[in-house]
């Protein structure tokens, strides 16, 4: 499978890692949209939120268990935003489930 984030997780493409455990990998976004912009991904390939099932939702739970640890490591003591784009209408560009963690400032562009 030709997946950019699977290659990053495997170490075939370099990344700035900020967190890793058995299920989760987190690294700095190459094109940061905030002072802190990190991508949190499951090590198992899941294309987007549409592909979350009873069989793989454990991987997603592990991501949300990791996020407070990641936020702490990144010093996001004043809060942060979590975004996951799924599909063309959301302009998802990498088809491996990921959660953008944005923070480090009062964030602009609040949609909801
Ligand atoms: P999406 O648009 O799918 O929600 O988010 C994909 C994100 O991946 C974008 O914010 C983009 O900057 C980031 N990205 C794309 N290619 C690379 C890469 O090679 N390395 C890193 N660290 N981030 C990438
Ligand atoms: Zn993948």
pLDDT of residue 1: 76
Q: Measured in angstroms, how far is the CA atom of residue 112 from the centroid of ligand 2?
A: 28
Please say if the pLDDT value at position 105 is more than 90. yes
Start-to-end C-alpha separation, the chain: 35
Atom 17 of ligand 1, nearest CA residue: 30
pTM across the whole model? 0.98
Residues with a catalytic annotation lie at 98
Of the candidates 93, 20, 102, the residue with the CA atom closest to the CA atom of residue 63 = 20
The secondary structure element, H or E, covering residue 57 is: helix 57-73
pLDDT of residue 25: 98
Per-residue pLDDT tens over the stretch 9-66: 999 999 999 999 999 999 999 999 999 999 999 999 999 999 999 999 999 999 999 9
- Please, what's the b/e burial string for 13-34 (b: 16 or more CB within 10 A of its CB; e: otherwise)? eebeebbeeebbbbbebeeeeb
If you average pLDDT over residues 85-105, what whole number do you get? 98
Query: Which atom of ligand 1 is found nearest the CA of 16?
Result: 22
Coil/strand/helix, residue 51:
helix
Pocket lining: 73 vs ligand 1, CB cutoff 6 Å: no
Other beta carbons within 10 angstroms of residue 39's beta carbon come to: 20
- Please, what's the b/e burial string for 47-70 (b: 16 or more CB within 10 A of its CB; e: otherwise)? ebeeebeeeeeebbebbeebbeeb
Residue 47, phi then psi, degrees to nearest 5 = -70, -45
């Amino acid at each position: 499978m030709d997946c950019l984030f699977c290659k990053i997780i495997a170490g075939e493409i370099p990344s700035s890692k900020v967190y890793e455990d058995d299920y989760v990998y987190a690294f700095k976004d190459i094109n940061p949209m905030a002072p802190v912009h990190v991508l949190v991904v499951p090590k198992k390939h899941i294309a987007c939120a549409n592909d979350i099932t009873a069989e793989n939702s454990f991987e997603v739970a592990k991501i949300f268990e990791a996020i407070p640890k990641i936020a702490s490591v990144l010093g996001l003591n004043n809060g942060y935003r979590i975004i996951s784009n799924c599909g063309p209408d959301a302009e998802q560009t990498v088809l491996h489930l990921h959660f953008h963690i944005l923070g480090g400032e009062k964030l602009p562009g609040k949609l909801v």
